[in-house]
Amino acid sequence: MVKAFCLSFLLKNTYRVNSIIYSIKQIPIIKKLLPDSLYQNRGLKILANILSVIWEILAMFLGKFLYLYLMVAEIGLLYENVTKERVFLHIVVFLTLIGAYMNTYMFNPTNDKYYAMILLRMDAKAYTLSNYIYSILKVVIGFLPFTIFVGLRENVPLWICILLPFFIAGTKVIIAWIFLYRYEKTGQCTNENLPPKFAWPIAFALLAIAYGLPYVGVTISVPVVIAIIFLMMGLGIYGFLRIFSFQSYREMYQILLAEKKDGMDYHKMVKKATEDQNRKIISQDSKITSRKKGFEYLNELFIKRHRKILWKSVNRLAAICFLLVIGLLFSFQLKKEIATTANQLLMIFLPYFVFIMYSINRGSTFTRFLFMNCDHSMLTYSFYKKPSLILKLFQIRLREIIKINLLPATVIGGGLSVILYFSGGTDNPLYYAILPLSIIAMSIFFSVHNLTCYYLLQPYNVEAELKSSTYTIVSWVTYGICFAFMKIQMDTLLFGILMTSFCILYCIIACVLVYQFAHKTFKIRN
């Protein structure tokens, strides 16, 4: 088993190193300086190996710290009527249940598994068990320092903090065994990249229990949490024994990795499933037409046929935001302290909404459908890449994406003004105007940003796979900056004026950049 793990680790690392070199070659300025023989360069491979090791360490620790700190500890600060210890443990228990069946570490059909078990004919059981044990050890080792650090800060006893990583690991193990048992009895193989429909409602229900019950003062008691911890640890030991005794790993993975025999990987499986689902949603009505001409005609047909996809989610989001505003106004009548706190927050925490508006903006979804169902074909025509025509279509699409994102932005912005008024108000009436104006400006900015990145960094290849490392880097940098705004406190009036001014300036710069460079960058990637 040790030999199988070493071989599999070397294989996985080689695949990752080549991916890193490929990503480096996709950076616009650098790729012209690097030859195709780069993959044979020993020095660069050493650098890529170092980056691979760093990534392995970061993956082991950083994600788990952010998970505990942001999704558990920071959110726990919102609940003042329950002790920090009980909120922390309550949230951890239910989020662990979600993570256990959504991320099993065993039923992920990755390329390295296909290479090892199908192409190289490695022992499937030795490969699976050795890598699974390594994954579980990473869970325990990665969580342990942070359950202690964050847990002690939340007044959780040290011995419980030490047991939490083993509870998380035990839960994952028993869920993995349940999936294996299901395969034994039914022959149905689990693919965690294509979870069944019932998985998402269960996840949302558990999220509601994790974050909703503490709001009304209800949490699992500490003795019950301790009992659950020991129960899942015990079941985890039993699950490990059953996983070791399972004999049908090769047969199971032949089913799980079957699509790869035809040169397909799980990205294409997800793409195919998405396309099949989209065909059911996209209108096939041949009577849909338009009286407009040129690009306006093309755009209107696209919008009409994709109305359900583009508008359904924003309509639902706007309705949820409206209900949240109503609920908050109702809570003001029940508890005056909530109104006072809300009023104080609205005066200095408007930058917090940068991350919220980034999260709900539909720009990336809009551009993905643009490529899959329009530009994928149209980019094969030379006229489609003329600077003047690119700019014209860019402005038309920008208008549409702004309209789509404007609905929830208007509800949120107007709701904030109403909340400000009924929470005690302010002596400066400009606040009532700057709140909705700022939210709308944020919405417009992210609409412009997503569409601009799409035109200047067009990241998709002919298979609609995202293949641009530059686009990925820009997306992560955008995420990081937006997240940093959550830590900024600034006078709402000042921030609103700055945000609105920046949005207008960004729109102008975006149009200039698209006109100057998009005819070179707006193309299908190889």
Q: Is residue 287 part of a domain?
A: no
Last residue of a domain, one of 212, 244, 264: 264
Q: Is residue 81 part of a domain?
A: yes
Q: Is residue 52 part of a domain?
A: no
Q: Is residue 355 part of a domain?
A: yes
- Whose CA is closest to 255, among 178, 171, 182? 182
Joined tokens for residue 145: 């320092």
Instruction: Clarify whether residues 232 and 322 are in a common domain.
Output: no
Q: Which residue has the tokens 């009436």?
A: 429
Give the tens place of pLDDT for each residue, 288-304. Answer: 666 777 778 877 777 77
Give the tens place of pLDDT for each residue, 439-491. Answer: 999 999 999 999 998 888 888 777 667 777 788 888 888 888 888 887 777 88
Q: From CA 47, how far away is CA 21, in angstroms rounded?
A: 10
What band does 47 get if pLDDT is binned at 50, 70 and 90? Answer: low
DSSP conformation class of 525: B
Pure H helices in 109-221: 111-113, 124-153, 158-186, 199-212
> Domains in the chain: how many in total?
2
> Residue-wise over 394-427: b if at least 16 C-beta within 10 A, else e?
bebbbebbbebbbbbbbbbbbbbbbbbebbeebe
* pLDDT number for residue 316: 86
Instruction: Clarify whether residues 260 and 366 are in a common domain.
Output: no
* pLDDT number for residue 378: 80
* pLDDT number for residue 296: 82
Last residue of a domain, one of 218, 243, 264: 264
* pLDDT number for residue 26: 62
Give the tens place of pLDDT for each residue, 422-441. Answer: 888 888 888 888 889 999 99
* pLDDT number for residue 429: 84
Residue 142 has pLDDT above 60, yes or no: yes
Q: Output the 3-class SS for 437-463.
A: HHHHHHHHHHHHHHHHHHHHHCCEECC
Instruction: Clarify whether residues 210 and 355 are in a common domain.
Output: no
Max CA-CA distance within the chain?
74
Residue 99 has pLDDT above 80, yes or no: yes
Residue 220 has pLDDT above 80, yes or no: yes
Give the tens place of pLDDT for each residue, 225-264. Answer: 999 999 999 999 999 999 989 888 888 888 887 755 544 4
Q: Is the dihedral of CA 169, 171, 174, 180 positive or negative?
A: negative
Q: Which residue has the tokens 């993959």?
A: 39
Rounded mean pLDDT of 16-25? Answer: 66
Task: Give me the DSSP letters along 284-317.
Answer: --TT---S--HHHHHHHHHHHHTHHHHHHHHHHH
The 3-state DSSP composition of the chain as helix, strand, coil percent (nearest 5) reads: 80, 0, 20
**Residue range(s) defining the domain that contains residue 214:** 61-264
* pLDDT number for residue 185: 85
**Range among 71-85, 139-153, 182-196 with highest mean pLDDT value:** 139-153
pTM: 0.63
Instruction: Clarify whether residues 366 and 460 are in a common domain.
Output: yes
Instruction: Clarify whether residues 237 and 328 are in a common domain.
Output: no
Pure H helices in 26-74: 28-31, 42-66
Residues 6+ apart with CB under 8 A from 337: none
* pLDDT number for residue 262: 46
Instruction: Clarify whether residues 215 and 110 are in a common domain.
Output: yes
